[in-house]
Amino acid sequence: MMSASLLNKFAGTLLLDEPMAKHTSWRIGGTADQFYTPADIDDLAMFINQLPENENIIFLGLGSNLLVRDKGIRGTVISLKGSLSEIELLENNSLRVGAGTSCAKLARYCHRNNLIGGEFFAGIPGLLGGALAMNAGAFGGETWPRVKSVITLNKKGETYCRTAADYEISYRNVKAKHNLSEWFVSADLQFESGDGNAAAARVKKLLEQRANTQPMGLPSCGSVFKNPPNGFAAKLIENCGLKTYTIGGASVSEKHANFIINSNNAKASDVEALIKLIQQTVKKEHGVELQTEVKIIGEIDNASV
């Protein structure tokens, strides 16, 4: 835990024993030992550099693809919400975008500057850092095909410039080839020139269609499972008769079977149990092993295992 005298060296905001339920779209999660929001990249680098070498560090965006277990997180959460959110227009229809920029803001910036190819970002309910970490996508588009380069930060506060060649990139998965602990702090993205108003109109129509088919406005993480090859997770779950199935306060959405809703003060253990039941049922009835798109983190409660 950081001393008050050391904290005075930093410009960001540090919270102790912070409830993660306040920072995830599921509104679920135990407390984090430390929760830090940096002022800028330099402040972030200095803060990380003074943490113990073995400190567990979690980078957090909008918490829209995250389940934090009930016993919380032992270590430090770095929140990029409200930080590292600058966008700079470069030459040749490219942008330099901070990892704390919301994907929706990025899409709007593209429209205003008559850049096309980034419409899909409007459908990603998170920050660019998270989109880079998992190759997030929507409306048929994915993040990494738009990446020219990224800037990463390591535990020593050192920055590196990386390209797609430094990672193994696939559907909803990004793995660093260099096998080092680094986090994305910005990216240079490539787009094309075009009619921004027409692109915005297409996005509006797509979002309206999504609102009609997904439980928008309810506490969830979005899609829980990755779509298997040549199929849809939601269809498999629905065919198993699991729509509206409930464990504790967590329920499979009646509107879209690949959504789990915090319907009644759910615990993380309720959601995790429901995820496992869905996986087991789909495996038994269809022979398909569903992989989670949501990331599950935090201390395991051995009493409930």
Active site residue 202: no
pLDDT at 178: 86
Q: Does pTM surpass 0.95?
A: no
State pLDDT tens for residues 283-305: 999 999 999 999 999 998 754 44
**233-304 in CATH: which number?**
3.90.78.10
Q: What angle do CA 40, 104, 115 make, to 5 degrees?
A: 100
Q: Which of 74, 172, 202, 210 is catalytic?
A: 172
Which CATH code, of 3.40.50.170, 2.60.40.10, 3.30.43.10, 3.80.30.10, is assigned to 4-79?
3.30.43.10
SS3 state at 48: helix
Beta strand pairing call for 137-138 and 87-89 = unpaired
pLDDT at 304: 46
pLDDT at 4: 47
**87-212 in CATH: which number?**
3.30.465.10
State pLDDT tens for residues 273-282: 999 999 999 9
Q: Where along the chain do its domains lie?
A: 4-79, 87-212, 233-304
> Could you give the C-alpha distances from 132 to 19, 68, 299, in angstroms and in order?
26, 20, 25
Q: Which of 25, 186, 223, 251 is catalytic?
A: 223
- Model confidence at 5: pLDDT above 70: no
pLDDT at 8: 64
Active site residue 172: yes
Active site residue 79: no
